A and B are shown apart, each in its own frame.
Chain A
């Protein structure tokens, strides 16, 4: 139990530190500190509202505490551009980003796990020697450029798939669920997911391969051979099972990182997600929205790191049963 508690406290600490960092960065901007929260075009009431919420007329140290309090309640202020509370805006696009990330990651890791195990099994073969540079190349490819290529070929060139957005413009759905499961949404999801999956599979492939190679050197694999178990049985039940553990952790961590780094892919495909919202907000100097989007992204990342620790603790019996 103390392991989880310690990691949780650590997570809170990091979240607090990041929030403080952002607070300082936005406050250190030249000009009146209130420009971070109040747009010249706000109505009188809006101006008053934000002034109150964030205590902008109070000394900096008090503002900081109010800021932290607001953060805990999800209060990020009003968007300059949309004149709406930031949290609502962020939450409205969060599902799109989560779906994109989840689907792409699952595809990448499912493929990578299998392919990596295969490469380890076929160690030294011509297939493996040729495959490795190819996998490295996919890792070296900028994801947005890959997206551009796929767009050019499949959307514009062949016209098979739509060229942007998450849904056809003007379409309306009875609920979020029906929107997500509509064929329209899935067709729009295809290219971005394919782009990300190609880009992402390099890590799980290489990781699985190197884990497998390490595990195959372990004494218990030799023992499994001595027991006369079939090679296939050894590969699957012993080698792969042990080699998978780090992949699960990597999955969780990559998920956290992707939420933010998806920015470019979301831009290429005009995908209405959190990353794109951040970019637009920054481009438009919509500071509250930019802050809010950034902080949500950061929090998801830190949270996923914590989840990674938890999951590893659960899956590895050595950690789970640490206290007998």
Chain B
């Protein structure tokens, strides 16, 4: 199966004054078409940076330091800026975290949709307006609201509008950065339903960045777990969540409230992620890992294949079944 997008040894660094910080340090994965990938991890793990770096639009002090990104066979990182700009929104588009600030407040939605559809999509005005109405309907918005300004929309509606805009040019891949985080729970569910519906209808390929595992469980068939700038586990969502192979993922599953096991104890992972300005040499999770051994701190554990399409970056991934059992005990995590 040819991959829609493949990322090879990708790294992004921020320059802060004299020092620099590796926000993303050697990420590899590939995705086939029609798959929604969840990119999950705690704040500061680099997932948002990775998402924006894949788009190719980063803050002024950030740089892609190495690696390749291939989309539909084409190496995006090798393109000149002007060529790269051509691909934007047509091949790969973005849904921001909080559309509150992501929509220009002085233009009506209709004009913002026109801007994308006409200037980037080459449509004539009338065709653009038709398509905009279609898109709005598809995301569950009344097309009459195209005449409104962003501030007249509620939070959930703004997110839907952002989704509509992202789908406007029928991109190959959509990247969503915390698409529902800024919404309250009930609205979250509604928007998630909309996204799920669209992904089934359109066979959407997407990367959904989030810190909320339940969103991943709801939307995505594949998941990549990120920690300290690296992917530590990658595979089908079901498998990763039920039978995690990496201690960090095991800890994450423990730390998340589960309505079914309402009286189960929430066990947080002690400590905090390492500084990305001076990252440790070996496994980055070793300092907090209850199963760490000497060899873990010596070299970065490679991604080991546990089953086809399912990998984890842990030297002890072979013993995953046993470790999982121990990880379920709260005592394991308290040192």
Contacts and interface: CB of A to CB of B under 8 A. Distances in A.
B106 A316 contact: yes
A131 B47 CA distance: 40
A245 B104 CA distance: 13
B241 interface: no
Interface of A: 218-220, 222-230, 233, 237-238, 241-242, 245, 316-318, 321, 324
A300 to B, nearest CB: 30
Counting from the closest, the 3 A-B pairs by CB-CB distance are A228-B88, A219-B101, A317-B149
B228 interface: no
A219 B96 contact: yes
A233 B119 contact: yes
**Interface hub of A218, A316, A317, A324 (most chain B Cβ within 10 A):** A317
A238 B150 CA distance: 14
B88 A226 contact: yes
Nearest to A237: B115
Nearest to B84: A228
Nearest to B105: A318
A227 B120 contact: yes
**Interface hub of B89, B94, B104 (most chain A Cβ within 10 A):** B104
Contact of B149 (A233, A237, A318): A318
Nearest to A242: B106
A226 B119 contact: no
B89 to A, nearest CB: 5
A226 B88 CA distance: 6
Contacts of A318: 105, 149, 151
**Interface hub of A222, A226, A241 (most chain B Cβ within 10 A):** A226
B104 A242 contact: yes
A321 B145 CA distance: 14
Contacts, number: 64
B105 A228 contact: no
A226 B94 contact: yes
Given A218-B101, A223-B102, A242-B105, A229 B151 contact: no
Contact of B116 (A227, A238, A321): A227
B151 A317 contact: yes
Given A226-B55, A228-B88, A228-B90, A220 B102 contact: yes
A241 B106 CA distance: 8
B86 to A, nearest CB: 7
**Interface hub of A220, A222, A224 (most chain B Cβ within 10 A):** A220
Contacts of B101: 218-220
Contacts of A218: 101
A318 B105 CA distance: 7
Interface of B: 55, 57, 85-90, 93-94, 96, 98, 101-106, 115-116, 119-120, 149, 151-152
Contacts of A228: 85-90, 120
Given A223-B94, A317-B151, A321-B152, 20 more contacts: A220-B104, A220-B105, A222-B57, A223-B102, A225-B57, A225-B88, A226-B55, A226-B57, A226-B93, A227-B88, A227-B120, A228-B88, A229-B115, A230-B85, A241-B106, A242-B106, A317-B106, A317-B149, A318-B105, A321-B151
Nearest to A225: B57
A318 B101 CA distance: 13
A244 to B, nearest CB: 9
A324 B103 CA distance: 18
Contacts of A324: 152
- Interface of A: prevailing SS: helix
A89 B128 CA distance: 60
Contacts of B103: 220, 223
B139 to A, nearest CB: 17
Nearest to B91: A228
A317 B105 contact: yes
B209 to A, nearest CB: 14
Contacts of A241: 104, 106
A163 B89 CA distance: 61
B104 A238 contact: yes
Nearest to A324: B152
Nearest to B108: A317
A317 B89 CA distance: 27
15 contacts: A219-B96, A220-B102, A220-B103, A220-B105, A222-B57, A223-B102, A226-B55, A226-B88, A227-B115, A238-B104, A241-B106, A242-B104, A317-B106, A318-B149, A324-B152
Contact of A227 (B89, B106, B149, B152): B89
**Interface hub of A228, A238, A245, A321 (most chain B Cβ within 10 A):** A228
A321 B120 contact: no
Contacts of A233: 119
Contacts of A230: 85
A319 B88 CA distance: 33
A324 B147 CA distance: 12
Contacts of A223: 94, 96, 102-103
A323 to B, nearest CB: 11
Contacts of A316: 105-106
Contacts of B152: 321, 324
A316 B151 CA distance: 11
A220 B105 CA distance: 9
Contacts of B106: 241-242, 245, 316-317
Nearest to B97: A219
A226 B101 CA distance: 14
A44 B116 CA distance: 79
A47 B104 CA distance: 64
B149 A321 contact: yes
Contacts of A220: 101-105
A238 to B, nearest CB: 5
A223 B101 CA distance: 10
A254 to B, nearest CB: 23
